[in-house]
């Protein structure tokens, strides 16, 4: 359960002129971004803007083009190279695609889904040795997400929102320094989405750095202060959310006239 040693001041993420080529087309081009610990950040853009490719870069599911100067273009917690299992103990991931793996195949009980996060496995195997400390952390994670009552249920019987919270609990067993949330509210109804966003606020306030990937600005919780706005694989705007979430910027990003409204601590975009 010991996390890899990293520098205390290591940024969660550093991208320096990162580019990704698919076939003959650049799907990310010269993208730069720095996320310090505690600097909650939203990555915003329309479908096809490069958000999914960026997620795969951060998750080490694909790799950028080599730079001519030989310098690394992607570093996570200060390092260019990671064993994926090590990285998952520091950077948890939650996405609708991941959820499918836990709800559509062999039956999987909720507590087993959470505690198997220690082994980077889907459920517990005969060779997995679960310690009392692991059980304690799993229980803490379930408590933190408010889903202790789901223990004993099969993952496939849960609502979309319940299953999403189980996956966050699974990521939290490591007490990661950051969470990468890829379209985390996809498939949630209005009320469930609001409750889910409140749980993200609690995580941010507890010290977990949030990286939220979305195309809905109303999902950018108040704790998120930095926004990277993508368009066609390039950075369109980057900075504080008040400076990025403007009518002009979102009109360019989504290729349609947009008016931005502020509702309390949240922003909303309305086509016009």
Spatial distance between the Cα atoms of 218 and 130, rounded to a whole number of angstroms:
40
The answer on 187 and 62 residing in a single domain is: yes
15 and 81 share one domain: yes
Pairing of β 41-45 and β 226-231 = parallel
Question: Quick one: 193 and 83 in the same domain?
Answer: yes
Is there a domain that residue 3 lies in? no
User: Looking at per-residue confidence, does 244 or 86 come out higher?
Assistant: 244
**Residue 136 belongs to domain spanning:** 99-175
The count of residues in the chain is 272
> 66 and 197: one domain?
yes
User: For the chain, what is the domain count?
Assistant: 2
Residue 215 placed within a domain:
yes
Judge if 107 and 158 occupy the same domain.
yes
The full DSSP string for 111-128 is HHHHHGGGGTSSS--TT-
The pLDDT assigned to 105 comes to: 67
Spell 14-47 as b/e; 16+ CB within 10 A means b: bbbebbbeeeeebbbbebebebeeebbbbbbbbe
Model confidence pLDDT, tens digit, residues 43-59? 999 999 999 999 988 88
End-of-domain residue from the set 120, 146, 175: 175
* Residue 39's CATH number: 3.40.50.300
Q: With contact defined as beta carbons under 8 Å apart, do 184 and 95 qualify? A: yes
> Which of 175, 210, 231 represents a domain boundary (last residue)?
175
| pTM of the predicted protein model | 0.89
Using a 10 angstrom Cβ sphere, with 0-12 exposed, 13-18 middle and 19 or more buried, the burial of residue 265 is exposed
Residues 152 and 202 in one domain: no
Whether residue 226 is contained in a domain is answered as: yes
Average pLDDT for 167-176 = 90
């Amino acid at each position: 359960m010991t996390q890899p040693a990293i520098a205390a001041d290591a940024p969660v993420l550093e991208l320096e002129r990162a580019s990704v080529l698919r076939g003959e087309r650049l799907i990310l081009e010269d993208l730069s971004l720095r996320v310090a610990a505690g600097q909650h950040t939203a990555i915003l853009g329309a479908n096809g803007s490069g958000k999914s490719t960026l997620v795969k870069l951060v998750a080490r599911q694909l790799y950028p083009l080599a730079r001519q100067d030989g310098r690394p273009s992607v570093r996570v917690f200060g390092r260019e190279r990671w064993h994926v299992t090590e990285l998952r103990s520091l950077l948890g991931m939650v996405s609708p695609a991941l959820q499918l793996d836990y709800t559509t195949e062999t039956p999987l009980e909720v507590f087993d889904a959470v505690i198997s996060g220690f082994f980077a496995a889907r459920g517990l195997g005969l060779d997995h040795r679960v310690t009392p400390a692991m059980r304690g952390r799993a229980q803490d994670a379930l408590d933190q997400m408010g889903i202790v009552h789901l223990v004993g249920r099969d993952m496939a019987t849960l609502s979309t929102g319940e299953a999403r919270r189980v996956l966050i609990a699974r990521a939290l067993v490591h007490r990661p320094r950051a969470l990468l949330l890829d379209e985390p509210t996809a498939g949630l109804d209005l009320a469930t989405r609001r409750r889910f966003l409140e749980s993200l606020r609690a995580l941010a306030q507890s010290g977990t750095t949030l990286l939220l990937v979305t195309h809905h600005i109303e999902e950018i919780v108040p704790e998120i202060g930095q926004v990277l706005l993508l368009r066609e694989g390039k950075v369109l705007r980057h900075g504080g959310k008040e400076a990025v979430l403007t009518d002009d910027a979102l009109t360019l990003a989504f290729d349609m006239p947009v008016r931005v409204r502020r509702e309390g601590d949240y922003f909303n975009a309305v086509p016009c």
